[in-house]
Structure 1
Amino acid sequence: MIGPLLPAARVRAGGEESEQRRPAGLDSRVAALCLAALLLIGALMGSLNLLVDGVLRDGAGRWAYASTMLLLFALSGHLACRGRVGQAHTFGLVLLGDVIYLVVVLCIQDPLRYATPLMLLFPALAGAWFLPLRPLCVHMVATTGICLAALWPSYDSAVGLVVQAGVSACTLNAAAMGVFVLRRRVQRLLVATETISHQDALTGLYNRRYLVEQAPRLWGQARRDGTQLSAMVLDLDHFKRLNDEFGHAVGDAVLRAVARSLSGAVRPADLLARTGGEELVVVGSVAVVAEGRRLAERLRLAVAGARSEDGHAVTASVGIAVARPVEGEDPVAALWRLIDRADAAMYVAKRSGRDRVALADRPRSRATHAEPATWQRGHPAGSVARPETSRAVGSADL
């Protein structure tokens, strides 16, 4: 299976945890508008009984019925204006729908003709689509009790009451459970589709599309925390030679082994993605440049220590660039500028002998691109080996 290579917490966030938080964000607004529409439709349809003679009981019954319809209109308007609803509120509205049906029954002269249990389809379907399983089961039990209470005055025989209430409750609950199962199926398909769209099929890592989608979040988080963002581009050394000599199946196995090793080496908050071929990108926040440099070295060692099942291994050339987010800039464009700088540094590492890390200079302007600095495996900590064409970079520039 490829999926387990994704960080477990992120997979859960797209699956089971999303069900526990539902409705939230956009889902919360959709739920609020749908519930508002159901309340409005119920109020409009129920209000028609006020215009028909002989349907409602005279006196207090008519006034109670009219007040109930006004309550539905008010709740509908409130939800539409508020634009959001929590899970507890949704559960309360569904139970309120059951109680309102019982009030309607008590206000109508002939419930079997003008207030059949079919009216409970409104809360039943709302609960099935918006509630988790446990609250839905509570609602289904409440539906059974409401059917018994609503049909009680209309039947002299206990057997007839139980049969009719049972048929009505079973029909409503079966419809609710069917919609609930369908909803869960749709949710699983959506989660699977989203995972596929964000996941590299070979390695199980995130892909280029997910990297782009996360740019605003990464930029915003770095600005809030007052940190810098680092981008590391890793390119596997002599990977084409490996494919040519041993075949693409071996190359794929090595890529998967590298992905597993890097997944264990990156920090939990870092974003690791495969952007194409044998090129990988890691984006994360750092307090100082030295922190990013240490992480890049750790990733280089993780690649060197990765082994496929057949024992094949590769090394990686790593380029790293660091930038501080600026207010008003486009996060996606800024991210790719940062990655381009890291990519240029990676090529310097290639030219300097491979299996090493190169650090990109911070550009003094968009028109100026300084040559990256590199340091090699085996140099003392803090020492930097620079090619002759590289320009010296002080820590103040970084």
Structure 2
Amino acid sequence: MSSPTATPSPSGSPSPTTSPTYQEPTNPWKGGSTAAKAAGEPPPLSRADLDAQIAQADALLAELSAGNAELAALLKQLDELTEKANAALEAKAAADQALRDATTLAETSRATADALAEQLREKHQQLRDWAFSAYSEGGSTAEIMHIFDALMKDPANAGNPVGDLTYLTDERARLFQDIRHLAKRQEEVAARAEANVDAAEVAAQNAAEATAEAEQAVKAHEDAVTKAQADQTDLLQNAGPLAAMLLGVSSPEARQRGQAILDALIERNIDLPDLDKPCSNDNGIYPNGQLPASALCPLWMAPGEYAIPRAAAAFNALSKKFTEDFGRPICVTDSYRSFAQQVAVKASRGFWAATPGYSNHGLGRALDLCGGINSFGTIEHRWMRQNAPAYGWFHPSWAAADGRKPEPWHWEFAG
């Protein structure tokens, strides 16, 4: 998927496994037989499969509205607001990544400029020492005595005094050359560092604007649902259970099934931390595919799957909401991928996998989902599109049904 320097692209791989270089974080939420864990990523959609899913989605929309023009208009309005929220979150994610890239580049170039400045100071100090010696002693006493000693010896046993003088002269000449070279290079790198700092400031402004637009788009969607719930009670009561669920009204049966899952976990003495709080405060920027265990948190009811702390907390809250509506947690097939896993995935999936080091899975910000979400034509996928933005998750445009690599199962975090 996306990375600090590349456009997101799809990929797939097995879940992280314990190895000498990877310490799996503790997962207090392993749910046994009820866990929403599946193995393997679906194969790329064929044209026929994609067309069938699109047709199924159209039929689902018609079924949801059931000939009710008012309900159809409301669902259409929510679809439009969902698209805006999804696009705004995708733009925010891109702006935030650009900011992280610009910040890293600015810090690196500034460190390089500082290192060159230190080397230049050392060379200048050598020049000052030589100049002082030449002024106070007529040159380095040791060097002059060495030359006199060579000149007084028998020519057969002496070195080449002219060569010694040439060596000393060359050393001074190299010192001047080093200073000129370092001064020029340091000036160039310092200028680039300044430009990178300016670029980082612009990126920060863009990220702030994108965040504000995303928050506004998500709020507009939430307000529309709230207004529908308050102003159109009769419409929601007469709507079918699936349509009502999309409008924020869970069925009693689904709520009961969801509560049963939580009760079962409590009976097995499995602690349930606050789902909306990260398990770690390690929000550092790490190389793609090289996140430490401290920068990853487990996904609720998806053993062996991890994301960065904020993404995991948001997803866990989203999965709990899904459980309230469907009576089961969100199914996860893949999450964080180490660099080695990305290499393996690229070898097996080719074009359909991101270049290793350029996948959003390697940043702990992408998930591959299942359980119905992995098809464009299901109520689960439609639910996910409508509810995910409120939790900072979005479906990237490249993975949409009309995108360059349709992947209904792939979702990314913009928070």
Normalised by the size of structure 1, how large is the TM-score? 0.25
Higher relative contact order (CA 8 A, sep 6+): 2
Q: Answer 1 or 2: which has greater strand percent.
A: 1
